[in-house]
């Protein structure tokens, strides 16, 4: 076989060859000697070898007519596939072809969407990245996706920009969040259909604590000295969203604050925190204010009145005087 006179060619299909493992090129080696005569009987000694075999399938080589050898080449990997001809008997040198395979249509089951950050704050921004792939995980380009679909509690007031094509099978969109905390789900759409296997989800969290929106209350507004009641803080941000994860303390003021104590706070969910207030031995007005980072957590303190408990004989005295026939107890 004379390499200078022999050729390796690929059929030129009318359209793109899709990397689906089914559509294929036909490679044809025309083998001749230095005089141009067909070199026959070489099928078993020839090989068509891809430079990168990942996803590439080469069919059996057959001699379709004297000196003409043919095989199909398919791929599930999109991109250029370089195939070289080799022979057990001859040096074939630079006999090679570059075959171009393109991605197939979008397959939602192989496509995905991600959101960042995963715990955004109300009123902030979330970046959505959609990765479009075909059934063989090849990046799909050249699409014109619809605006993403938003759902969940945090979708109220949230808006999504159009997609920006990054040119590599990914698209980016910006989501401006509303003022409602909760779950946000984002699903890319193409021609009105879901364009990912699953929607991406994030939890939109409340903004900073707003003392103007938060309230504190006590279970009883009159408590006997030495007894206890429950204090409840409803913590909210400026938009009225419940706030979780606060570490609270408390301040006590008023005539009955001496000796009174507040236990540690327990979070009950939905922005609710409770603590036990135990009064001291003093009576009168008592005001309790939850503190966050040393600052009041509400605009107004909760107020209660501490009243005297049952009369104690151990702490009472019997007094007689000479002015009148009466007896006084104190």
Q: Delimit the domains of the chain by residue range.
A: 7-102, 108-204, 215-307
pLDDT at 164: 98
What's this model's pTM, rounded to 2 decimal places?
0.82
pLDDT per residue as tens digits for the range 240-265: 999 999 999 999 999 999 999 999 99
Superfamily of domain 215-307: Immunoglobulins (2.60.40.10)
Note the pLDDT of residue 2: 85
pLDDT value of position 330: 45
- Taking only the tens place, the pLDDT of each residue in 270-319 is 999 999 999 999 999 999 999 999 999 999 999 999 999 765 555 555 55
For 290-314, the DSSP string reads: EEETTEESSSS-EEEEEE--S--GG
In the chain, which residues have pLDDT < 50?
327-330
Upstream peptide bond of 99 is cis (omega within 30 degrees of 0): no
CB 137 within 8 A of CB 21: no
Q: Which CATH number describes the domain made up of 108-204?
A: 2.60.40.10
Asked, colleague to colleague, whether 7-102 and 215-307 share their fold, the answer is yes
Residue 21 has what pLDDT? 96
Strands (E), 170-309: 170-176, 182-190, 193-194, 200-204, 215-218, 222-224, 228-234, 248-253, 261-262, 266-269, 272-278, 284-292, 295-296, 302-307
Name the pairing type of β-strands 302-307 and 222-224: parallel
What is the pLDDT, as a whole number, of residue 149? 98
The architecture in CATH of the region 7-102 reads: Sandwich (2.60)
The neighbour count for residue 324, using CB atoms within 10 Å, is 6
- Predicted pLDDT at 315: 53
User: 3-class SS at 62?
Assistant: strand
């Amino acid at each position: 076989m004379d390499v200078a006179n022999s050729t390796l060619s690929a059929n030129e299909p009318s359209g793109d060859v899709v990397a689906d493992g089914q559509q294929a090129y036909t490679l044809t080696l025309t083998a001749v000697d230095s005089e141009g005569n067909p070199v026959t009987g070489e099928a078993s000694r020839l090989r068509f070898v891809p430079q990168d075999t990942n996803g590439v399938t080469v069919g059996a080589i057959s001699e379709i007519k004297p000196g003409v050898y043919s095989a199909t080449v398919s791929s599930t990997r999109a991109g250029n596939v370089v195939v070289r001809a080799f022979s057990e008997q001859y040096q074939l040198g630079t006999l090679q072809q570059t075959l171009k395979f393109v991605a197939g249509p979008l397959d939602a089951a192989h496509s995905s969407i991600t959101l960042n950050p995963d715990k955004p704050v109300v009123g902030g921004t979330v970046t959505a990245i959609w990765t479009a792939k075909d059934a063989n995980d090849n990046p799909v380009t050249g699409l014109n996706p619809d605006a993403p679909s938003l759902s969940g509690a945090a979708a109220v007031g949230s808006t999504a920009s159009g997609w920006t094509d990054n040119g590599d099978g990914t698209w980016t969109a910006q989501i401006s969040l509303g003022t409602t905390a909760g779950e946000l789900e984002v699903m890319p759409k193409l021609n009105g259909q879901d364009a990912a296997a699953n929607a991406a989800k994030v939890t939109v969290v409340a903004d900073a604590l707003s003392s103007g929106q938060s309230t504190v209350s006590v279970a009883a507004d009159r408590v006997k000295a030495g007894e206890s009641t429950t204090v409840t803080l409803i913590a909210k941000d400026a938009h009225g969203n419940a706030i979780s994860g606060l570490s609270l303390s408390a301040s006590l003021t008023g005539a009955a604050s001496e000796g009174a104590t507040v236990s540690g706070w327990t979070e009950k969910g939905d922005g609710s925190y409770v603590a036990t207030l135990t009064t001291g031995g003093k009576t009168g007005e008592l005001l309790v204010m939850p503190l966050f980072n040393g600052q009041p957590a509400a605009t107004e303190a909760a107020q209660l009145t501490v009243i005297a408990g049952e009369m104690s004989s151990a702490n009472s005295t019997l007094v007689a005087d000479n002015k009148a026939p009466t007896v006084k107890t104190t």
